[in-house]
Amino acid sequence: MENSQGANLITKPLLVALLLELRPLELSRLKIIMNLYKVNVYLLLVTCLKSVIMKNTKSRLLNLCLVLLALSLASFSYVSDGKIKGWFLAGSQPESYEIGLETNSEKAGNVAFLKSIKSPIDGFGTIMQSFEPLDYLGKKIKLTGYIKADNIEEWSAMWMRIDGFKDGKSEVLGFDNMQDRQIKGTKDWKQYEIILDVPKEAKYISYGVLIGGTGKILIDSFKFEIIENKKESTGNVVKLTKPTNTNFDEPN
């Protein structure tokens, strides 16, 4: 099957979920997804290099870092141009989007934007950042942020991913990209939230807002807070241990 045919079998929200859940050291999945979608490997490279620096790792991991470095230089699927301190542009088609700051009277100050600059776009772009969750280990956290959408063609969403290691292997420990509560069309300012558990094994939290297709979003006032454990998480990483719902008759 040719790559273009394989790409058509995956819906765009599912593709975004797949890319954002990509485990940092799974090279086989990296190759498959890169072949289909030219996905960025910048965060994978950063994670890998930090593992080499902080741990007494084997030479095989260092070799993997060199592979990721070569891929990152070849793919150019992230943009870190210093337009917004701490934030950068990424996604499957970052060259089709632009990020920046603008003054907004409704928010009485600066807000950030992510907007498409090409059309049509067969992919997505995201404004994002990553950090080490030292203050949140072993806690349940809530991410809130204000988003205003303008003519979103396909979908938009806030997202958060928690990466870490278990039993010496890289793991996606938590993930939510609002796939079940997408933002579409034109919407006024609204606060959205994501709730996830941060295991003690967590090493990085990445978060941001994405657009699939064309459109523009304004974002402002992101906030992280520790909340009670009894609050239900908004997203989960589902791992199947056997073939499931193969006849599509099982309820959710």
Average pLDDT, the chain: 74
For residues 116 and 125, give the distance between their C-alpha atoms in angstroms, rounded to a whole number: 8
Give the global pTM: 0.66
Per the structure block, which two tokens stand in for 71? Answer: 């891929």
Residue 121 lies in a domain: yes
Asked if residue 22 has pLDDT above 60, the reply is no
Residue 243 lies in a domain: no
Alpha-carbon distance values, 120 to 106, 157, 214 (Å):
30, 19, 7
Summarize pLDDT for 189-236 with one digit per residue, the tens.
Answer: 999 999 999 999 999 999 999 999 999 999 999 999 999 887 888 876
Residue 199 belongs to domain spanning: 3-227
Summarize pLDDT for 91-141 with one digit per residue, the tens.
Answer: 888 999 999 999 999 988 899 999 999 999 988 999 999 999 999 999 999
Residue 246 lies in a domain: no
Residue 245 lies in a domain: no
Domain tally, the chain: 1
Residue 94 lies in a domain: yes
**Residue bearing the bigger pLDDT, 116 or 76:** 116
For residues 167 and 162, give the distance between their C-alpha atoms in angstroms, rounded to a whole number: 16
Alpha-carbon distance values, 15 to 113, 145, 190, 200, 212 (Å):
23, 23, 25, 28, 10
pLDDT score, position 101: 92
CATH of residue 62's domain is: 2.60.120.260
